[in-house]
Structure formats: C-alpha cells, structure tokens
Amino acid sequence: MSDTAALPYRLRLPGPTTVPERVRQALAAPVLNHRGPEFHAQFEAIQTALRPIFGTTGPILVFPGSGTGVMEGSLANVARPGEAVLVVANGQYGGRFHQIATALGLASDLLEVEWGLAPDPMRIKTALARRDYRAVCVTHNESSTGVVADLAAIGAVVKDSPAVQIVDTVSGLAGIPVAQDAWHLDVVVAASQKALMCPPGIGLVGVSAKAWALIERDHAGRFFWDFRKARTAQEKAETPFTPPVSLLAGLDEALRMIAEEGLDAVLARHHRLATALRAGVVALGLRLFPREALSDTVTVMHVPDGLDGGAITRHMHQRYRTVIAGSRTHLTGKIIRIGTMGYLSAADVLTDLHYLERTLADLGRAPPAGAGVAAASAALVG
C-alpha cells in the first residue's frame, strides 16, 4: 500500500462528482454584490445557458441547497396540506418524495415499482383516474438502481389530468436528455453537483405555466422556498435572498464548458462512456442491476456471490483512492454503483475498470486479466 498516497483522489460517485479545474478557478473569484450589475450579467448568462439543457423557454429558479431542498420546495409550492399527490417510486429517491410529501402534511399515495424496472405510464394513468391529485412525482434517473423513466410517455399521460408532473432529474440533467416543454414536464428539479460539474449547493427548478396556476394559490407552508418570490426576483436577474454567489460563478463556468463542447456532444459522450463501462463490468463477470431502461449517468451492478459490496468500495478507496458508491438501502452490500456523469473521459472509465479488476483480484477473485479494459476499449472504438 506504499504507493497509495501518491495516487490522485478519484471521486467516482453518482454525485457529488469531479469538479473540473476551470470551475474550481471560477469558484475562487471575488464574491460579487448579489444586487449589482456584474451579478445580474452572470445570472442572465446562467439562465440563458440552462434553458436548452432543461428544454424550456421558461425561467429556471435558483435556490441554495441540495437536491432534496428543491424537491421539498416543489411539493410545498404546488400542493396545500391535505391535498393528494401520487408518488411513483422505483427506488430510494422516489421513496424520498413520499417522505417529503408526508412530512408536509400531504396525502401521499405511493405507486411502487419493482426496483430495477422503469415506471409503467399506464399504471400512472389508471391511478390518476381514481383520485384527484395535485401532482405526480417521478424520478427521472433513479440513482439507486440505474434506471431511467420514460418522461415523455408519462408526461403525455399526466398532461391530460389536472395534476402537474414533478420530475427529479437531479442525477439526469446534462447527462441524459431532458425536454421539459416538449414532454409536458411541469416542475423539473435539478442540482449542481451531478452532471453539471459543480460542488453541491445549488438547486434548480424549471416551472411550467400549468404549475404556476397551482403555485399562485395562497397557502401556508412556504417562505424561503416560495416560488412566487423567486420568480419576482428573477425578473431583475436576482434571487429573493442572498444566493450562493461563488457557486453560481462556478456554475456559469461549467455551463460555458457544456456550451463549448455542445449539449448534444455532452449527451453523446455520456452514452458512449456509460456503454463502455457497462461492457467492461460485464466482461469482469459482474451482472448489471437494472433490467431495463439503463441509465447513462450511473452504472449499478450486483456484487459477486460471496463478496460484500462494502469490502469492494472500501478497498477501491483505500488501495486505489477511487471512491465509488455502495447502497444505502435494503441493497446495502449487494450492489455497487459508479457514476458516469459530468466531467468524464474514456481515461476515467478505463481506470475504473482496471482498479475494479485489481480489487476483485485483491479480494480473492480471479477476473480475466484486462478483460474489462479490453471490452470497454472495444465499445469505445466500435
């Protein structure tokens, strides 16, 4: 283990993700007056750059906080205590929507989907016909299982009901396609620390006209998260309260990087690298966890029989300084997860596969030497 200290720290989680040097430099810029012209210009640039990534012409609200903060804010704005919401849960983050809705005093009906599968829009349609819901909550990219929901199909169902669709795309946005307006998504929630290549601390929300009609109603239970205040401030390129100015400088730079590469190229890179990583882990003898609709921002795999996922993640960190994720659910120890979101190149996934192979070998398995890297390389050129 003598060479471990010399290895670079590799943050390979499904969030937070590696922050590129350019963004880290931008974070160190002088703090701006959040009511001054320099900030106004930066805030406008962020808005302009975010709209195509969300696929909307509407404003994107900006809040300090983690993704969970804007998940809570979204529910607190569209539903009054006592009103009903439908929560579609095919993993840990869907479950979180249910916990938040319950904590806010909403009547939360849970539509449970087997983990590893994507939600069936027809089940949502049936549920919507049975009760008057204010909102349907859907996880776009379920980071706990590595499954992507078909938002276009779900949006087509929800748009014909009085309910609004709240989408958690915290681990999807800027890594897989999002088309808020075309797919009829009403409240689209994202955060800075995943494919947007920034540190944690910014929550983002795109809001449709249909959602504003619910948000504009008077009701108790929101102050800091009041979307109406955010929209009013936004008209002056500001936020109602002091924003995380330095983080926004970082986001501005990250969005410039995305624009320089081109959004389509960014999404294609995510797909190419995720495909290569999946080919590699399968070649190492690991079985993928999702059974359909595989995510291009997180790869989730079963731990080989007789091994503990915790032992793998610990060894990857201690021996190779590579931080990958286990699970914090009933799957703890049984699955491991590697992020493929944000600032990522082929070198990263090839290194992941080399270290994963060495880890399996160090733990007494004998995966075919080089098989993971070879399969990934073939996928990258193929």
Ligand X SMILES: *Cc1c(COP(=O)(O)O)cnc(C)c1O
Given the rule CB under 6 A, which residues bind ligand X? 14-15, 66-68, 93, 139, 141, 143, 168, 170-171, 191
Q: Taking the complex as a whole, how short is the minimal distance between the CB of residue 189 and ligand X, in angstroms? A: 8
Nearer to ligand X, 166 or 349 (CB): 166
Asked if 89 contacts 112 with a C-beta cutoff of 8 angstroms, the reply is: yes
Nearer to ligand X, 239 or 297 (CB): 297
Q: Taking the complex as a whole, how short is the minimal distance between the CB of residue 14 and ligand X, in angstroms? A: 6
Query: 165: which residues sit within 8 A by CB, 6+ positions away?
Result: 135, 136, 138, 151, 154, 155, 158, 159, 184, 185, 186, 187
Asked if 78 contacts 217 with a C-beta cutoff of 8 angstroms, the reply is: no
Nearer to ligand X, 168 or 253 (CB): 168
Nearest to 230 by CA among 75, 61, 74: 61
- Angle subtended by helix axes 245-261 and 263-283, to nearest 10: 90
Q: Taking the complex as a whole, how short is the minimal distance between the CB of residue 67 and ligand X, in angstroms? A: 3
User: Exposure of 29 by Cβ count < 10 A (0-12 exposed, 13-18 middle, 19+ buried)?
Assistant: middle
Nearer to ligand X, 177 or 367 (CB): 177
Asked if 91 contacts 293 with a C-beta cutoff of 8 angstroms, the reply is: no
Q: Taking the complex as a whole, how short is the minimal distance between the CB of residue 193 and ligand X, in angstroms? A: 6
Q: Taking the complex as a whole, how short is the minimal distance between the CB of residue 68 and ligand X, in angstroms? A: 3
Asked if 169 contacts 189 with a C-beta cutoff of 8 angstroms, the reply is: yes
Distance CA 370, CA 353 (A): 9
Q: Taking the complex as a whole, how short is the minimal distance between the CB of residue 93 and ligand X, in angstroms? A: 4
Residue nearest to ligand X according to CB distances in the complex: 67
Nearer to ligand X, 297 or 322 (CB): 297
Q: Taking the complex as a whole, how short is the minimal distance between the CB of residue 33 and ligand X, in angstroms? A: 28
Q: DSSP letter at 12?
A: B
Residues facing 336 on adjacent strands: 301
- Structure tokens given for 376: 């990934």
Q: CB 262: neighbour CB atoms within 10 A?
A: 11
Asked if 88 contacts 226 with a C-beta cutoff of 8 angstroms, the reply is: no
Nearer to ligand X, 18 or 377 (CB): 18
Distance CA 270, CA 248 (A): 24
CA 296, 20, 48, 36 dihedral sign is positive
Distance CA 133, CA 135 (A): 5
Q: Taking the complex as a whole, how short is the minimal distance between the CB of residue 141 and ligand X, in angstroms? A: 6
Q: Taking the complex as a whole, how short is the minimal distance between the CB of residue 191 and ligand X, in angstroms? A: 5
Nearer to ligand X, 135 or 284 (CB): 135
Nearer to ligand X, 15 or 309 (CB): 15
Pairing of strands 187-191, 202-207: antiparallel
Nearer to ligand X, 64 or 67 (CB): 67
The 3-state DSSP class for residue 55 equals: coil
